[in-house]
Amino acid sequence: MRKIIICIAMGIVLAGNVTGSADEKDKSKSMKPKIGVDYEWGALKEVIVGIGDDLIIPGYSDKVDFIYDKKLIDVMKKSGGKPAIEVEPDKTRKVLEQINGLVKVLEKRGIKVYRPRLLNPVEHDYLINVQEGQMQIYTRDPILVIGNNVIETALKIPMRAKEIFPLREIIRNRIKDTGAKYVSMPSPNPNYGNDGIYLEGGDVLLNGKDIYVGNSGKASNPAGIEWLQNYLGPDYRVHEIKISPEFEHLDCIMALLKPGLGLLCRDGLAGKLPDSLKGWDFIDVTVEEAKRLGANALVLDDKTVIMDTQHKRIIDEVKKRNHEVIKVPYDYVAKWGGAFRCSHHPLVRVGGRPQP
């Protein structure tokens, strides 16, 4: 009788273990993929792409005259705070058409795309006393995804601070049950002087544990670079790359397409490249091409990149390296100051380890 009871008990335990195992399998199937980006060329799986709706011409402010050339300042003084669709209706419709066209290309390749909602009226008026204007085209800058870290950055242009609000909802819902770390940098000082802590996504390129951060004097600064190194810790090596004040961000002059291959406007550098980039085959991009965002590409994986149709010479050079180029028109979006890399921020890239 005792043997029978023991056998029954063992059967219950074994059954429980089998059930638990099945439950764990079901749970693992339902879990979201982990947030993670380690390399610029990892296979893109999930991404946030900006929207071209409700564009408002930036207003002039003496807090930001360091970043704009005289021609743009004249436009800001004349039309700042007005809806772009009223000032430039045809060009603004083209912006919408091109950025939505990019989303279609990504979705056709099976990439999960998130889009931010429009700002609500309260968000729209945030810091409007400092600078009028609104855009949500460039999701690259307000956040950083490095490894499983999601970081809200500190932007130097006041009107852009509000862009983070709709992105928070996407991030908060996406990181549940993923173990991702979510932090925010210190807010910029209200005088927006050079003594603040600034870091913008367009300045940051990833190569595993080597992180490159541009410093043109217009966006990210040494204090922001120091903050990033302190936050990431000793496992990472954060390298400052000084760039010409003719450009705002590092991704205006550089792209990393795969291990050992990239795009670079050498005349846009104001210092040396880190040792970890020495020996790379960098396709030369001229200053004129870089100002039209010729180096600002969207890397899909280590074999494929999206580039603007207008940059035929650069595209031909990339193709010579046995790289696939998907040509997409993006010139009207680029006229707002950023192109493909600026318009997206990856949440999940898979693989990408350098080849031995």
Q: Which two tokens stand for residue 342?
A: 């600026």
Helices (H), the chain: 2-30, 70-79, 84-87, 89-108, 121-124, 164-174, 222-232, 287-291, 312-320, 331-334, 340-343
Sequence-distant (6+) residues with CB within 8 A of 269 are: 241, 242, 243, 244, 253
Query: End-to-end alpha-carbon separation of the chain, Å?
Result: 65
For the chain, list the domains and their CATH numbers: 34-350 (3.75.10.10)
E strand residue ranges, 194-343: 204-207, 210-215, 237-242, 254-258, 261-264, 281-284, 298-301, 304-308, 324-328
Q: Which two tokens stand for residue 73?
A: 């300042």
Q: Which two tokens stand for residue 287?
A: 């200053």
| Cβ atoms within 10 Å of 311's Cβ, excluding its own | 26
Q: For the chain, give the mean pLDDT.
A: 90
Task: Specify the amino acid at residue 33.
Answer: P
Distance, CA of 51 to CA of 59 (rounded, Å): 20
Mean pLDDT over residues 270-280, rounded? 95
Percent of the chain with pLDDT over 70: 90
Contact 218, 252 (CB under 8 A): no
Q: Which two tokens stand for residue 314?
A: 């650069």
Mean pLDDT over residues 254-270, rounded? 98
Q: Which two tokens stand for residue 238?
A: 């954060």
Residue pLDDT, tens place only, 232-250: 999 999 999 999 999 999 9
Task: Specify the amino acid at residue 147.
Answer: G
Provide the 8-state DSSP code for 284: E
Provide the 8-state DSSP code for 354: P
Residues facing residue 177 across a β-bridge:
none
Percent of the chain with pLDDT over 90: 81
What pLDDT shows up at residue 13?
Answer: 37
What pLDDT shows up at residue 8?
Answer: 37
Q: Which two tokens stand for residue 202?
A: 């367009």
What pLDDT shows up at residue 7?
Answer: 41
Mean pLDDT over residues 126-132, rounded? 93
What pLDDT shows up at residue 2?
Answer: 42
Mean pLDDT over residues 117-143, rounded? 96
Under the banding of pLDDT at 50, 70 and 90, the label for residue 264 is very high
Residue pLDDT, tens place only, 185-221: 999 888 877 789 999 999 999 999 999 999 999 999 9
Closest to 37 in 3D by CA, of 355, 354, 347, 353: 347
Residue pLDDT, tens place only, 307-345: 999 999 999 999 999 999 999 999 999 999 999 999 999
Q: Is 44 exposed, middle or buried (0-12, 13-18, 19+ CB in 10 A)?
A: buried
pTM of the model: 0.89
Provide the 8-state DSSP code for 36: B
Under the banding of pLDDT at 50, 70 and 90, the label for residue 15 is very low
